[in-house]
Amino acid sequence: MVSEEAKIKILALREELEEHNYKYYVLSKPTISDYDFDMKMKELEKLEKKFPEFDDPNSPSKRVGSDLTKEFMQVVHERPMLSLSNAYSKEELLDFDTRIKKLIEGDFTYVCELKFDGASISLTYKDGILERATTRGDGQQGDDVTANVRTIKSIPLKLRGDGYPRSFEIRGEILFPFDAFDELNREREQLGEPVFANPRNTASGTLKMQDPAIVASRKLDAYLFSIHGDNLPFDGHFENLQEAKGWGFKISDEIQQFQSIEEVLQYIEKWDKERFNLPVATDGVVIKVNSINLQNNLGATAKSPRWAIAYKFKAESASTILQEVIYQVGRTGAITPVANLKPVLLAGTTVKRASLHNADIIQNLGLHIGDTVYVEKGGEIIPKITGVDKDKRDVLARPVVFISKCPECNTQLVREEGEAAHYCPNEEGCPPQIKGKIEHFISRKALDIDGLGQETVDLLFEEGLISDVTGLYTLKKEQIAVLERLGDKSAERILTGLEQSKSAPFEKVLFALGIRFVGETVAKTLVTKLVNIENIKKASFEELTEINDIGGRIAQSVVDYFSSEKNLQLVDFLKGKGLQMEISKEKLENRTEKLKGLNIIISGTFQQFSREEIKGLIEQNGGKNVSSISKKTSYLVAGEKIGPSKLEKANKLGIPIISEDDLMNMLK
């Protein structure tokens, strides 16, 4: 390659890698596999070494990718959080072992750890108390996400036992367990919201949400795997981690110490097969020199420590035949295409189906019926089709064309601008939508009606006893008791559950209505602010968007719902049957208007209350929480560790700055 050609290639690779860095670290939406990214990075590094005249300090090969956001205070890491060099073969690991042995005189041991696929975190403890949690960021500084991390139950807020250093840092990964991730996606499907692609991106996005209450509801987990400080109990990395278990930290039981690279290779071979039995995502094995003294002597390059390397597993993949594409209809009418495959063994399980998500995915893959397709199961729980072997395609194969009509009711499908999915608009006559709405209404997080489940709803619907939610409250014992698999006891249990649902709080009733984009949290917000169903019915788009955390998409959905005569009739029917359509008197009695008309922003950390508790007090007393400072801001409630930019802007605009105690005095 001549110099000019090299320059063009180097510049193109830099631009492409920067774009992938942005999608991975900032948007948490990667569009390329880790392996492909690393191969491109290695190609760039090789070219830059061969053509040093094109050196650039801002090249992606010279820095660690960033996940910084503007919403959090940035904290400089006391010790840089470097990325690890990656290996994909036995030969690369043997080369690593050879390099280490050239630099170290005498015996040493390796430590092997499973490489968890989540969001990197640094936790700082002082006198046994969690002081700060910081994301990796750009490796030099990260976001202070302490409020969110405090909600993760596997992270100790106060250490157990004794023997820990007075001040130290412990690092690890925040993870989304498969079971919790599955549950979240099921809930999003019920709400008609797009499902998340994989646990890793969702953990990263959750960690940087502005509402710790939502973070807490998502049941994140954490594994810790490295301790840093001046007075650690041992020189051995492995020994320190075992000691940290006694302090209350979640340390993987699969961390092992080995005498040779041959033992390391056996460990990798074992976990390449067994990783699929774990409750969280893993994508490799990290190999470290155990002695911290030796680690310090070996040092690091600008990007990576010399004493560690990450072996990356290849995503489990297999080829099989695409037999047909079927289409499923969700509660909100969203159409999901599913590939039916010739059964194939993948990641320890037999795969017969793969999600195709939407029409764009089908078009981009260029699928034909009978194609030999590549199916992959990496971080995702549901297998996905990643490619097509076009050389094996039959010349007479028919292309997959996305349907234009609903497979259940034959209604013409619609696709709204900005939406990836197609929808069936026949809400009142499409069986899966009707049954889906009833199933949502009775679900555990909605009205939680005892005795009713999906199978019973299907049976009642097929027998013509219910055609919408209203039918539940007209059921009679003799109608239910004679049905297959049911009887007197089941009938009594169902009717008792329906009667008890009339005592469910208003926010659960509002959530149960199944208004698109109105989840549990949004329902609580609307109920707290608007008090009763009549106020919610009458609220305009502008009035709704004035409410904290209610965006334009949610507001329009609420307005559209209560513009439907059928929906208004449903609400009136439920109200007539005795379901709660207003906030309880007890909650109302605690409300005041002491902060009415005040726009208040809070920033920093507080002693008496959490940020969310303070926000709740502001709203309960008639005030409005705002997220940014402007001339309309009435007060800035400043806690500890407040961002200097907020203080500066408040002073510049003459906004009064008050403390937590000042706010409490205003409420007395």
Amino acid identity at 398: R
Q: State the pLDDT at residue 22.
A: 64
Instruction: Round to whole Å and give the CA distance between 32 and 34.
Output: 7
- Residue holding tokens 């307005």? 559
Instruction: Give Cα separations from 285 to 204, 255, 260, 267, 535 (angstroms).
Output: 20, 10, 15, 9, 56
Q: Is residue 420 part of a domain?
A: no
Instruction: Round to whole Å and give the CA distance between 187 and 173.
Output: 25
Q: Is residue 654 part of a domain?
A: yes
Both tokens of 231, joined, read: 């007075």
Q: Nearest-5° angle of CA 420, CA 421, CA 423?
A: 145
Known active-site residue 115: yes
Among 588, 610, 631, the domain-final residue is: 588
Instruction: Give Cα separations from 332 to 197, 220, 360, 439 (angstroms).
Output: 19, 28, 20, 12
User: How large is the greatest C-alpha to C-alpha distance in the chain, in angstroms?
Assistant: 87
Instruction: Round to whole Å and give the CA distance between 55 and 59.
Output: 8
Q: Is residue 413 part of a domain?
A: no
Q: 303 with 157, same domain?
A: yes
Of 323, 389, 320, residue with least CA distance to 351: 320
Mind listing the pLDDT tens digit for each residue in 516-534?
889 887 898 899 889 999 9
Q: Is residue 270 part of a domain?
A: yes
Q: Is residue 115 part of a domain?
A: yes
Cα 445 to chain centroid distance, Å, stands at 19
- Helices in 247-404 by DSSP H: which ranges? 261-274, 292-298, 359-365
Q: Is residue 227 part of a domain?
A: yes
Residues of the chain with pLDDT below 50 are 66, 70
Q: Find the helix or strand (DSSP H, E) in which 241 lies.
A: helix 237-246
Instruction: Round to whole Å and give the CA distance between 142 and 78.
Output: 11
Q: What is the CATH number of the domain that holds 13?
A: 1.10.287.610
Q: 307 with 321, same domain?
A: no
Both tokens of 2, joined, read: 């001549």
Enumerate long-range contacts of 401-405, CB under 8 Å, 24 or more apart: 402/337, 402/359, 402/362, 402/363, 403/327, 403/335
Helix, strand, or coil (residue 113): strand
Q: 549 with 489, same domain?
A: no
Instruction: Round to whole Å and give the CA distance between 318 and 537.
Output: 52
Are the C-beta atoms of residues 295 and 305 closer than 8 Å to each other?
yes
* Catalytic hit among 46, 101, 115, 632: 115
Q: Is residue 425 part of a domain?
A: no
Q: State the pLDDT at residue 1.
A: 67
Domain limits for position 573:
506-588
Domain count, the chain: 6
Helix 34-50 vs helix 3-21: crossing angle, to nearest 10: 150
HSE-up of 148 (CA within 13 Å, CB side)? 26
Instruction: Round to whole Å and give the CA distance between 656 and 654.
Output: 6
Are the C-beta atoms of residues 530 and 498 closer than 8 Å to each other?
no
Q: Is residue 119 part of a domain?
A: yes
Q: 339 with 368, same domain?
A: yes
Q: 165 with 109, same domain?
A: yes
Burial (CB count within 10 angstroms: exposed 0-12, middle 13-18, buried 19+), residue 502: middle
Q: State the pLDDT at residue 64.
A: 53
Instruction: Round to whole Å and give the CA distance between 607 and 579.
Output: 40
Q: Nearest-5° angle of CA 517, CA 582, CA 465?
A: 70
Strand (E) positions, 50-176? 74-76, 86-87, 110-116, 119-126, 129-135, 141-143, 167-175
Q: 244 with 117, same domain?
A: yes
Q: Nearest-5° angle of CA 56, CA 61, CA 67?
A: 110
Mind listing the pLDDT tens digit for each residue in 148-162?
998 898 999 988 888
Burial (CB count within 10 angstroms: exposed 0-12, middle 13-18, buried 19+), residue 391: exposed
The dihedral built from the CA positions of residue 517, 523, 524 and 525, taken in this order, carries a sign that is positive
